[in-house]
Amino acid sequence: MKVSVFRKEHFNAAHRLHNDELSESENARLFGKCNYPNYHGHNYELIVQVSGETDAKTGYVMDMKVLSDLIKQEVIEAYDHRNLNLDVEDFKQIIPTAENIAVAIYNRLRPHIDHTKDLKIRLYETERNFVEFPAG
Amino acid sequence: MKVSVFRKEHFNAAHRLHNDELSESENARLFGKCNYPNYHGHNYELIVQVSGETDAKTGYVMDMKVLSDLIKQEVIEAYDHRNLNLDVEDFKQIIPTAENIAVAIYNRLRPHIDHTKDLKIRLYETERNFVEFPAG
Amino acid sequence: MKVSVFRKEHFNAAHRLHNDELSESENARLFGKCNYPNYHGHNYELIVQVSGETDAKTGYVMDMKVLSDLIKQEVIEAYDHRNLNLDVEDFKQIIPTAENIAVAIYNRLRPHIDHTKDLKIRLYETERNFVEFPAG
Amino acid sequence: MKVSVFRKEHFNAAHRLHNDELSESENARLFGKCNYPNYHGHNYELIVQVSGETDAKTGYVMDMKVLSDLIKQEVIEAYDHRNLNLDVEDFKQIIPTAENIAVAIYNRLRPHIDHTKDLKIRLYETERNFVEFPAG
Amino acid sequence: MKVSVFRKEHFNAAHRLHNDELSESENARLFGKCNYPNYHGHNYELIVQVSGETDAKTGYVMDMKVLSDLIKQEVIEAYDHRNLNLDVEDFKQIIPTAENIAVAIYNRLRPHIDHTKDLKIRLYETERNFVEFPAG
Amino acid sequence: MKVSVFRKEHFNAAHRLHNDELSESENARLFGKCNYPNYHGHNYELIVQVSGETDAKTGYVMDMKVLSDLIKQEVIEAYDHRNLNLDVEDFKQIIPTAENIAVAIYNRLRPHIDHTKDLKIRLYETERNFVEFPAG
């Protein structure tokens, strides 16, 4: 039977929400304070869930130290203390909403997780606003 | 693919658990301290989850500011700083257990959420007691 | 040298803020939603701090199990699942604001704590509103 | 329609990760600091989820006081302040990883929960490492 | 006797640490990742403590609703969703470290708090890094 | 004027409370479940507070990255994933109560903190039991 393991990591980043194809007033209307021109930022809390069979030799679905190192290498290294709009390739064409950041993190991690295992991302932008991908 | 967004709000309310169709002793046996006659209360923490496709223009499943305003208008306005048994129509015929409050909140919000999107309610009565509707 | 030990307990209670010597409109103006007639309630989180010398035999300032039992007997037993205005003698003449509840808890515990030790009360009415007595 | 209720409990225990069928060096390589010979320990936070229909008479899926007492009797009594490797029968043949502890708790509780109801276990080993069984 | 009341608010902002009077390499050495040129950001959690005598008429040291409104008007309005370096006058000449932000918040609030009352600021930059002013 | 900075770190360790100079029955009476022979354990959360003048060049009381590294080197390295009674010299003659662990941590860090600055240790043994040294 399958067990899920979860590992929590965090990063601090600046961003703003802006759609280059829309007018300034439309951007202001859609995104409010999140559209302010000089960026704001968050302490993002990231929870990565991996689900699968437990290995008989180790009692692990996946070694959480290995999972932690993987998240640090593939996600934290690229996002932490960065401006998501200006510094991160993932968001050159895509607005860095919490929803889109979660999908981008999924795409960064999926190739590195055993294909027999399921992957889910939960991302807290603030304590009160968070997202999950895939939905569940 | 679908993403879930979650918005957390809170309200403070008084309630007591009492089934008018049962005797006082049966109520005391079933509900213990929660049946005390003069009410007690809680800081209810409410998490509303909406799941669906991300909008290409905004990068949002649903604008969390809009979701927050909706929860405040439809739920917090009616429940906050109120006595659920005496002041809130939803619980005139229904015992305000955490389970029933979660279902009532679902019913208040469902008509206002796009029908292509799924809705789920999580309600914390205390840090140690909480419920989710629909189950899953 | 002195060490402080802290023990956290909780209780759920209903209350309302109302000064019997003032008019209804003055009460409404002063206390807003906290003055609603049918009570509301909170999950009160209580932290009791005792400071003094560490005992050489036990390595304890005060056994936290003993402190926990004392808080349960002197405070939780009287306040939990109660209506502070209607059920608790402490608030017959005193408005149950967080400030006044903290002082009342101090007065309940002080006689039972060794007089060589200092006592301080922190009380969370919500995660965002809390008080400490004595100030410091 | 079905509602889930969740009850949170905790226990403090010592453990180490070690597979008796492997060499010392293989154990050290697989489990790192978790393999240190003299044990380390955790504040385990346990969340038990029970899902089913709400009872019309009580408004409960399951009385959370009853659920709490059941968890204390079947799990906390056996694990709290114990060395999981040395003191608990469940882990004589099984490595006490978070995954395996969650499955063992599930097996302890399942016979005592109404068979029409679903059961899920979430176990926090630390704030950053946690597991869920069954996966979901 | 004196009681302290605490009110918690939050704001999200971008910043970077940079001393204009030092070379780029000295800035990089001193501030590390916090010196990255395009800013990063935080969910700042702010706790404002006001200490003084309890008012006999209200049972309040200070109405926490009034305190909350004051913090929003004097601090949150100016800092929330802003770039502290570029958008906020307070940090034109002063590096926006947590220490300096806490002092700036104190200076914004002090004129609006009754002079018989003491004021203290606690500011969380992350869950793991926080400051208090005045020290205590 | 002085500002306090706080840095939070954690370690996981096993311990038991036992005074070698007392009988087994006296130990059992004094320490209860904490005296069980095969050890139990905790996720210790450690908050180190350093208070002093802010440096004009950096805006820091003390670089929290430096403070974090110092705590890791002097405390976490020695205590994490260890059995405090068996593996750590500090507790060969001293019972590892939370009070005594906090004093031991203070003694480890004090020589490495600038003597013009004040040092305070807060240690959480569980969410509900914690200590502070020096008392305040």
- Quote the minimal CA–CA distance from C58 to chain B in Å: 32
**Beta-carbon count within 10 A of C118 CB:** 16
**In chain C, what percentage of residues exceed pLDDT 90?**
99
Task: Enumerate residue ranges in chain D where pLDDT < 70.
Answer: none
Q: Would you state the pLDDT for residue A13?
A: 98
Cα A8-A13-A17 angle, rounded to 5 deg: 115
Which of the four pLDDT bands, split at 50, 70 and 90, describes residue E1?
confident
Cβ contact C60–F97 (<8 Å):
yes
What average pLDDT score do residues A7-15 get? Answer: 98
Q: Would you state the pLDDT for residue A1?
A: 87
Give Cα F48 to chain centroid, integer Å: 9
Chains B and C touch each other (3 or more Cβ pairs < 8 A)? yes
What is the per-residue pLDDT across A23-55, written as a single tens digit (0 to 9) for each? 999 999 999 999 999 999 999 999 999 999 999
Cβ contact B14–C39 (<8 Å):
yes
Tokens of B29: 């046996």
E2 touches chain C (CB under 8 A): yes
- Quote the minimal CA–CA distance from C17 to chain E in Å: 8
- Quote the minimal CA–CA distance from E8 to chain A in Å: 13
Task: Tell me: cis bond preceding A111? Omega within 30 of 0 counts.
Answer: no
**In chain B, what percentage of residues exceed pLDDT 90?**
99
Which stretches of F10-93 are DSSP H helices? 24-31, 64-71, 77-79, 84-87
Q: Which residues contact F73 (CB under 8 A, 6 or more apart)?
A: none
What average pLDDT score do residues F4-19 get? Answer: 98
DSSP B33: G
D65 touches chain F (CB under 8 A): no
D34 is catalytic: yes
Q: How far apart are CA E75 and CA A71, in angstroms?
A: 35
Helix (H, G, I), strand (E, B) or coil at C27: helix
Q: How far apart are CA C61 and CA C54, in angstroms?
A: 4
DSSP state string for E106-118: HHHHGGGS-TTSE
Chains F and C touch each other (3 or more Cβ pairs < 8 A)? yes
Q: Would you state the pLDDT for residue E98?
A: 98
Averaged pLDDT score across all residues of chain C = 97
B65 touches chain D (CB under 8 A): no
Q: Which residues contact A111 (CB under 8 A, 6 or more apart)?
A: none
pLDDT over 90 (residue C12): yes
Helix (H, G, I), strand (E, B) or coil at C52: strand
State which residue of chain E sits closest to C100, comparing Cα positions.
E59
What is the per-residue pLDDT across E105-125, written as a single tens digit (0 to 9) for each? 999 999 999 999 999 999 999
What is the per-residue pLDDT across E35-65, written as a single tens digit (0 to 9) for each? 999 999 999 999 999 999 999 999 999 999 9
What is the per-residue pLDDT across F56-71, written as a single tens digit (0 to 9) for each? 999 999 999 999 999 9
Q: Which residues contact F63 (CB under 8 A, 6 or more apart)?
A: E30
* Residue of C7, C52, C57 with shortest CB distance to F129: C7
Q: Would you state the pLDDT for residue E69?
A: 98
* Phi then psi dihedrals of residue A64, to 5 deg: -65, -25
Neighbouring-strand partners of residue C4? C51, F132
- Quote the minimal CA–CA distance from F130 to chain D in Å: 13
Q: How far apart are CA C101 and CA C97, in angstroms?
A: 6
Report yes or no: E16 and E86 within 8 Å, Cβ to Cβ: no
Q: Would you state the pLDDT for residue C128?
A: 98
B28 touches chain C (CB under 8 A): no
Q: Would you state the pLDDT for residue C100?
A: 98
pLDDT over 90 (residue B79): yes
Which domain covers residue E12, as residue numbers?
A: 2-133
C100 touches chain E (CB under 8 A): yes
Q: Which residues of F touch C6 (CB under 8 A)?
A: 129-132
The candidate with the shortest Cα–Cα distance to F1, out of E78, E31, E27, E131, is E131
User: With left for phi above 0 and alpha for psi between -120 and 50, is residue B135 left, alpha or beta?
Assistant: beta
DSSP F62: S
What is the per-residue pLDDT across C78-135, written as a single tens digit (0 to 9) for each? 999 999 999 999 999 999 999 999 999 999 999 999 999 999 999 999 999 999 999 9
What average pLDDT score do residues C28-41 get? Answer: 97
Instruction: Spell A81-111 as b/e; 16+ CB within 10 A means b.
Output: bbbbbebbebbeeebbbbbbbbbbbbebbee
pLDDT over 90 (residue A106): yes
pTM: 0.97
What average pLDDT score do residues F73-89 get? Answer: 98
- Quote the minimal CA–CA distance from D133 to chain B in Å: 13
F81 is catalytic: yes
DSSP state string for chain D: -EEEEEEEEEEEEEE----TTS-HHHHHHHHGGGG-TT-EEEEEEEEEEEEEEPPTTTS-SS-HHHHHHHHIIIIIHHHTTEEHHHH-GGGSSS---HHHHHHHHHHHHGGGS-TTSEEEEEEESSSSEEEEES--
Q: Which residues of A touch E13 (CB under 8 A)?
A: 40-41
Task: Tell me: cis bond preceding A37? Omega within 30 of 0 counts.
Answer: no
Q: Would you state the pLDDT for residue F1?
A: 87
Neighbouring-strand partners of residue A73? none
pLDDT over 90 (residue E136): no
State which residue of chain C sits closest to E53, comparing Cα positions.
C135
Cβ contact F15–D41 (<8 Å):
yes
F91 touches chain C (CB under 8 A): no
| CATH number of the domain within which F45 lies | 3.30.479.10
Cβ contact C129–E58 (<8 Å):
no
Task: Write down the residue that tokens 């597979």 correspond to.
Answer: D19
Chain F interface disruption, residue of D8, D15, D17, D39, most F CBs within 10 A = D39
pLDDT over 90 (residue B1): no
* Residue of F7, F58, F136 with shortest CB distance to E129: F7
Q: Which chains touch F (3 or more CB pairs under 8 A)?
A: C, D, E
Cβ contact C133–E4 (<8 Å):
yes
Task: Write down the residue that tokens 């002793």 correspond to.
Answer: B25
Element (H, E) at B94: none
Q: Would you state the pLDDT for residue A136?
A: 80
A28 touches chain E (CB under 8 A): no
- Quote the minimal CA–CA distance from D74 to chain F in Å: 17
State which residue of chain F sits closest to E35, comparing Cα positions.
F58
Chains E and B touch each other (3 or more Cβ pairs < 8 A)? no
Q: Which residues of A touch D99 (CB under 8 A)?
A: 3, 5, 54, 59-61
Q: Which residues contact F42 (CB under 8 A, 6 or more apart)?
A: D12, D41, D42, D43, F12, F13, F15, F125, F126
Cβ contact B59–A17 (<8 Å):
yes
Count Cβ atoms within 10 A of the Cβ of residue B92 and give its class: 0-12 exposed, 13-18 middle, 19 or more buried. Answer: exposed
Tally the domains of chain B.
Answer: 1
* Residue of B94, B99, B135 with shortest CB distance to D60: B99
